[in-house]
Structure 1
Amino acid sequence: MFGTVIWDVYGRDEAKDLRDAIEDLASATDSLGWSSSGVYAFYDPDPQRQQSPSSHALRYLGLATDLSSRFAQHNGIVDVKPGSSKFSNIEAWFDKHPLLGYSAFVQSPLHQANIARLKKEIGSTVVDWSIDFDHDIEARRSIAMLEGQLIETAVLDRGLLPPWNKIGGSMDGKSRALDGSGSALIGLMEGVYDNLFVARRSIREISNDPTIYFDESDTLHAARMQALVSAGTAGASNSEIISQLSELAAPGHVWSHLIDSARVAWIRDGGYLNSTTRVVHKS
């Protein structure tokens, strides 16, 4: 299930390092961190950009069953057929700008799609893929629906597709955009504003710190998921995430045996939630 926005800001010569960090956090070949299946965005990270209807931070919205591989394709790290990635757009961007933002709305590794390199990695040990990976359809359906919802939300809010998008998303996703619930998520993904659904540290910072990696991908992601479930259609707030953090470590909670209560207390009360290394736009 979805719950966390991960993000980073990179220069042209940093793309390979960021690709490696995305793979570390959202790999298809392990059960650590997050699923490799998610919805992602490229955005303008400059908070001083001119404010006009045509200068929204968001550049592109997409989906991927393998986030690190798709990032590599978009950034020319691996060869792909011309026109099958946003490499030309990103190259043109870096010709005029020093930095580009990347973000992804990621889900639990329990929602891991059965992608080709995963099948190659462990295929010899799986007898029946339909049983071992019965969540594959749900993983693919969820990202297709969310991508369609967000692209259509951008069109409804701004009157046009994000600049690097050429087509809309799934029809099922489009129908979900009518209630406007995707606007808040787009704002988080493009760095217009911040809340606790956004990781407090960048993708590379999380990858380089095993403790923060666990805090974000296990403890905080669980609280974020529970906050979304509890809030339903009403929308979840920072206070709901903090409340869910406390409940996770409470004796008798279904996950309490997996949660370090001292670490929860540090996350909740030690200032981590109030800190962020992300530069947020002031629209």
Structure 2
Amino acid sequence: MSALHELNDERFASRGLRLWIMRDDLVHPELPGNKFRKLKYNLVEARECGHRTLLTFGGAYSNHIRATAAAGALHGFATIGVIRGDELAGKPLNPSLAYAAERGMRLVFVDRAAYRRRAESAYLDELRQEYGDFFAIPEGGSNPAAVRGCAELPSEIDVPYDVVAVACGTGGTLAGIAAGLPSDKAAVGFAVLKGDFLARDVAELQRQTYGETRGSWRVDGSAHCGGYARTTPELTAFLADFARRHGIAPDEIYVGKMLYGLFAAAHRGEFAPGTRIVAVKTG
């Protein structure tokens, strides 16, 4: 169970709001937060189906690639990571990929055209012909098994609350959290990528998992700061100030953007006075 810490911040208090940080990043030393939750039932399914190898997809700095490599090493699976960018082959590995390799992951670098086919069954068949049988986990780990794992998070919140806020990349975490909420609660996902596709993807993940959409949720697209892994001077300054005030240093790619968007939404008056918000620090 993840610890919750209430933050005393006048930017929320002055509007009659209360804010807790859920330290889901501390749930496991090598599989922090939503990575633990997303992989939990994928590993169960892989083992029940008799698979010995996990194959998944990610960029050069993917936390999901790191987590899958760690999960494989911890639970006795071989792992293969299909990495976007054939220009990276033969070059020194960055810390994320070096960690994955140290945990036993076989890294396969492919060009952008091949990577765009990652969800195609024909491409997975081609990969099986080359690398043998495997249990496939999609980019970011978001699939019905991941949704079921993330749906367990709301039951661990042991403070009174109204809204859960979370960073939203591929949509699996938001889809699960929203599905697991009591009927009188809501979730908001702050998109870290530019584009208007995430609400559709979250809804589709819920339909794949439950046969219907569930829960009260929405995607806020105002805090992506130009796109994935992009930043702005305003975001950098906000995060430095947040760390100084609260002793927590969120990353700029996911949690930082969620908090940046959450504080901006509070400033715009999007939450009624008295609203109690739990912000999930996923990693």
Task: Please report the TM-score for the alignment, with normalisation by the length of structure 2.
Answer: 0.29
The structure carrying a bigger strand percent of its residues is 2
Task: Please report the TM-score for the alignment, with normalisation by the length of structure 1.
Answer: 0.29
The structure carrying a bigger helix percent of its residues is 1
